[in-house]
Amino acid sequence: MKKKLDENEDQDALSIYNPNEIKYEFNVESILNNIALDSQDSLLSFSGLGATAHNEILNNAEKYLEYKRLVSERNIILLKIVTKIIQSKHLTENEKKYLANLHKKISTSNILNLEKKTLCARASKLQIKDLTTNDLYALNALANVEIKENLFNFAISDLVLELNNFIDNKTFNKIIHEIFAEAKAKEFKYDSTKNSLFDVNNKEPLLLNKEIKETIWRVSGFFDALDAEKLKAFLKVKRGKSTFDKVWLQIDEASLEAFIRDVNKHENRIEYLENWIKRKEHEFENRIQLPPDNLRIEDSQINKIINKKDKNYRKKLLANIFQNENLKTISHRDVNKFVNEFVEFLPLFNFKYPETIKDIFIALQDLEEFNNIYKEDLQMLKTYKTLFKIEEENPNEFLAVEPIKMEQEKLIDFASEEALFDKDKIIERVKASTIPFVKNVTSVLLSQIAK
């Protein structure tokens, strides 16, 4: 390596004949602190923590957990205050005192220990049992949440730590840094509206840009008019040679057009289309007579006629189950009781269910129309249908009787590209995303402190 360097030396350079030595000294603690200023998204900010303290926290699980509790409590308090400001609600005296104290700490701090100054000295020692009745009721009102007495000794700080996972820590860091910038602007008498010490831009424009790009990419996979024509041509292969098949071919083409419109809304459109083609080929092989004139319509319309008759039957079935002809008056509690008892007996059938069981499942879901079934019960029915294979698709059944089940989440609620990329709506969203959120919130926070 040295020989290669010697070969490339400039023999006319004075430094060769006048050797010198340069010494570098790195202040590791300073480097770590400065890295933190450019990386506010990191799990553990280095601001206010020296290199030794930082390593000590990372290497000690208890200290790291305590640090995250302090950050979580600060974020939850600020979230409540910022939410009240957005909703134009008055702050309580305690909230005003907290803001004043926070502003004082930030103003007297420096950039290197800014975050440390905004944290409390220690995490709260309160437990779930110390919450008020109203607070417990609010928590238990959340979906899938049930706090019983056996959880009363659980630390509130740990609950807050979990809730902090839903909070954007970077936004609150920006608010804190903006308060610091405003304090320094006042101290050194410069116009903070023209120049900002920190990046306070919203992240929404970037997210909106990514959302639009992703949507464009997804919509590009939609079946368009050209795809529809190619699929029709594929459907016509070895078809329409007889008068009998010509009638069916017209019906199948109309059914394919309707199916493409529906399947475009789903991610798994290719998989669904393959299933449709396979089942349509099976139909073609098993056709023995022409449909009557009133049923020479596409599959989806025939299915609606069948469903209308089946729905009347299911209503009578529900009336017998609940002994109540007026389905609107059936209580949520009665439905919940029946659903829980009904699903307990499913294992007894060993995956061989009579049609009545399938009808009961669909009938119970029909109760959503009358708004007398809990969402939790609907989700339970959906889960049990999947787990016990209640309503598996029958590949040998005609598509008009049992259409392709497209149960995956829809890509969008509409398939129209024009509606999706409406210029005025996009401009409106872009304008809303660029409203200076951090600066506006900070301004109102400071005005609350000044009162």
Give the separation between CA 42 and CA 34, rounded to whole angstroms: 13
Average pLDDT over residues 290-301: 91
Per mean pLDDT, which range of 24-28, 178-182, 351-355 is the poorest? 24-28
Q: Return mean pLDDT, the chain.
A: 82
Residue 8: pLDDT over 60: no
The pLDDT score that the predictor gives to residue 34 is 42
Average pLDDT over residues 219-225: 86
The pLDDT score that the predictor gives to residue 53 is 60
Enclosing H/E stretch for 276? helix 269-286
Is residue 106 within 8 A of residue 176, CB to CB? The reply is yes
Structure tokens at 10: 């400039």
Structure tokens at 159: 């609950």
Give the separation between CA 214 and CA 37, rounded to whole angstroms: 31
Q: Between residues 229 and 393, which one has the greater pLDDT?
A: 229
Number of residues written out for the chain: 451
Give phi and psi for 155, each to the nearest 5. Answer: -70, 135
Phi-psi domain of 184 (left: phi exceeds 0; alpha: psi -120 through 50; beta: other): alpha
What's the maximum distance between 2 C-alpha atoms anywhere in the chain? 108
pLDDT for 243-254, tens place per residue? 999 999 999 999
Residue 2: pLDDT over 70: no
Highest mean pLDDT among 200-204, 292-296, 335-339, 445-449: 335-339
Residue 429: pLDDT over 80: yes
At position 323, the amino acid (one-letter code) is Q
Q: Which residues pair with 266 in a beta bridge?
A: 410
For residue 382, what are the CA distances in angstroms to 58, 89, 341, 385? 44, 41, 15, 5
Per mean pLDDT, which range of 5-9, 151-155, 222-226 is the poorest? 5-9
Structure tokens at 59: 């290497």
Q: First vs last Cα of the chain: how many Å apart? A: 70
Q: Which residues pair with 259 in a beta bridge?
A: none
For residue 4, what are the CA distances in angstroms to 17, 19, 281, 317, 413? 19, 19, 74, 91, 66
Average pLDDT over residues 280-305: 91
Average pLDDT over residues 266-291: 91
